[in-house]
Amino acid sequence: MTKEEKYSLAKWAMNHALENGAQQASVSISNNQSSSVDVRDEKIDKLEQAIQSGLTIRLFVDGKYSAHSTNRMKKEDLSHFINEAIEGTKYLSEDKFRSLPEPELYYKGGGKPLNTLDPNFSKVDPQEKIDLAFAMEKEVLGADERIISVSASYYDGLNERVMVTSNGFEGDSSNSYFGLNASVSVKSDDARPESYWGESAIFFDKLKKDGIGKMALKRAIDKIGQDKIESGKMPMIVENRQVGRIFGPLISALSGSAIQQKNSFLIDKLGKKVVSEKLTLTDDPFIPGGRGSRLFDGEGLATKKRVVFNKGVLETYYIDTYYGKKLEMQPNGGGTTNLVFETGDKDVNGLIASVKKGILVTGFNGGNSNGTTGDFSYGIEGFLIENGKITKPVSEMNITGNMLDLWSNIGAFGNDINESSSWMTPSILFEGVDFSGM
């Protein structure tokens, strides 16, 4: 579907809802095309290609609310689908907090281009995609006699979306992505450690294409001989790409629904110092080429650049229209865009050099965090650091603690931000973390 066709169908569906019992409605239509190639044993293991589309409608009927989606996009089918959805909604309880956003908060156009789409998306030669996957595999095959299995994959995709609401919002967005991944298994006594590496980009030309296979192999071989060490309280460095796992619970605790439903350890903490003064974090939706860049959120609210933590002081929650009404707070967008950390002056190796005895975490294995209390416990693997140097691989260990304690005990932020994610996390050194092992 072209953008115009999507707008036209979305408006038709919205009007159909308004004519059949809904007082307000919003409709979004998205489509996605994607392809992938997996290679293994110097053969193509899997070729996939897909095109999909879907329509989502949010209905406000007699003070009641529901939302529905379908991939049956013919008007005849949609008409039945919407009529039945409206009928069903009438059996729900009223919810006075449900409504579309206030129109003055909508994005109204005129934003600077965010460079989230590669205009040459469809010009990449399918054979080049296959060749790139084989090239990654070739970097590794025969490079080490302990290799058991190598797989490599190329993937890409293009998303396009339009949204309309019955109180005046119209907007569309699109983005593209390209990626390469390699994974390598190696033999070590009884175990078969496996590791992977990947790169991704919005533009095909900017995709890093070399060294991915080699990096996956290095990370697998580095794991050979991994074992647990004795339990103890030690400094912990978390590698930049892994930080999201332990930062996620802090962000979840800031959502309007978590605050209002008492499922957060950051209730009533606005304006208070809750974590280390070393943490200053900005949410910036306008970074050109940023993975999380956007001009409006899922409801159509205009995005704004804002400080989330300022020297450890909590400056904002993430509030959507519904929970904004319940909490009597101004809605400001329900989700993160690009998270930008104030960084330190050392890369991960510099952080390692500063540690006498501690653990570098390069992967998490299961675990969870209690949303209400912030108590967490995660499985980890990585490396023992002794006197500023990595001495051996460790695994089968847990870290356990509380999110507020962990983030209050930041030793240092690295300067090595992860640019392949909208959460642009650097490596971070934490002090005094409880490890359990032997």
Footprint (CB under 8 A) of other proteins, residues 265-304: none
Angle, in degrees to the nearest 10, between helices 212-221 and 126-140 = 30
x/- mask, other proteins, residues 385-424, rule CB under 8 A, reads ----------xxxxxx------------------------
- Is residue 122 close enough to count as binding other proteins by CB under 8 A? no
- Is residue 148 close enough to count as binding other proteins by CB under 8 A? yes
Binding residue (CB under 8 A) for other proteins from 373, 386, 389, 419: 373
We find the least distance from the C-beta atom of residue 58 to other proteins, in angstroms, to be 10
What is the end-to-end Cα distance of the chain in Å, rounded? 58
Residues within window 308-337 making contact with other proteins, judged by CB under 8 A: 326
Give the interface segment with other proteins, choosing from 82-90, 210-218, 271-279, 295-303 (CB under 8 A).
82-90
- Is residue 32 close enough to count as binding other proteins by CB under 8 A? no
User: What is the 3-state secondary structure of the chain?
Assistant: CCHHHHHHHHHHHHHHHHHCCCCEEEEEEEEEEEEEEEEECCEEEEEEEEEEEEEEEEEEECCEEEEEEECCCCHHHHHHHHHHHHHHHCCCCCCCCCCCCCHHHECCCCCCCCCCCCCCHHHCCHHHHHHHHHHHHHHHCCCCCCEEEEEEEEEEEEEEEEEEECCCCEEEEEEEEEEEEEEEEECECCECCEEEEEEEECCHHHCCCCCHHHHHHHHHHCCCCCECCCCEEEEEEECHHHHHHHHHHHHHCCEHHHHHCCCCCCCCCCCCECCCCCCCEEECCCCCCCCCCCCECCCCEECCCEEEEECCEECCCECCHHHHHHHCCCCCCCCCCCEEECCCCECHHHHHHCCCEEEEEEEEEEEEECCCCCEEEEEEEEEEEECCEEEEEEEEEEEEEEHHHHHHCEEEEECCCCCCCCEECCCEEEEEEEEECC
- Is residue 44 close enough to count as binding other proteins by CB under 8 A? yes
Binding residue (CB under 8 A) for other proteins from 110, 119, 142, 366: 366
We find the least distance from the C-beta atom of residue 347 to other proteins, in angstroms, to be 27
Give the interface segment with other proteins, choosing from 68-76, 115-123, 280-288, 302-310 (CB under 8 A).
68-76
* Cβ proximity of 342 and 281 under 8 Å: yes
Q: Which is nearer to other proteins, 34 or 115 (CB)?
A: 34
Binding residue (CB under 8 A) for other proteins from 131, 144, 172, 194: 194
- Is residue 95 close enough to count as binding other proteins by CB under 8 A? yes
Q: Is the dihedral of CA 416, 333, 112, 177 positive or negative?
A: positive
- Is residue 89 close enough to count as binding other proteins by CB under 8 A? yes
Binding residue (CB under 8 A) for other proteins from 42, 94, 277, 419: 94
Q: Which is nearer to other proteins, 65 or 413 (CB)?
A: 65
Give the interface segment with other proteins, choosing from 15-23, 105-113, 295-303, 430-438 (CB under 8 A).
430-438
Q: Which is nearer to other proteins, 19 or 76 (CB)?
A: 76
We find the least distance from the C-beta atom of residue 33 to other proteins, in angstroms, to be 12
- Is residue 157 close enough to count as binding other proteins by CB under 8 A? no
Binding residue (CB under 8 A) for other proteins from 8, 23, 70, 99: 70
- Is residue 62 close enough to count as binding other proteins by CB under 8 A? no
We find the least distance from the C-beta atom of residue 361 to other proteins, in angstroms, to be 13
Binding residue (CB under 8 A) for other proteins from 91, 112, 125, 127: 91
We find the least distance from the C-beta atom of residue 253 to other proteins, in angstroms, to be 12
- Is residue 67 close enough to count as binding other proteins by CB under 8 A? yes
Q: Which is nearer to other proteins, 7 or 435 (CB)?
A: 435
We find the least distance from the C-beta atom of residue 93 to other proteins, in angstroms, to be 4
Binding residue (CB under 8 A) for other proteins from 315, 379, 405, 415: 379
Binding residue (CB under 8 A) for other proteins from 21, 88, 244, 335: 88
Question: Judged by CB under 8 A, how many residues of this single chain contact other proteins?
Answer: 80
8's CB contacts (< 8 A; 6+ apart) are none
405 to 50, 62, 97, 341, 402: CA distances (angstroms)? 46, 47, 35, 19, 5
* Cβ proximity of 390 and 426 under 8 Å: no
Binding residue (CB under 8 A) for other proteins from 120, 122, 231, 391: 231
We find the least distance from the C-beta atom of residue 232 to other proteins, in angstroms, to be 6
* Cβ proximity of 223 and 395 under 8 Å: yes
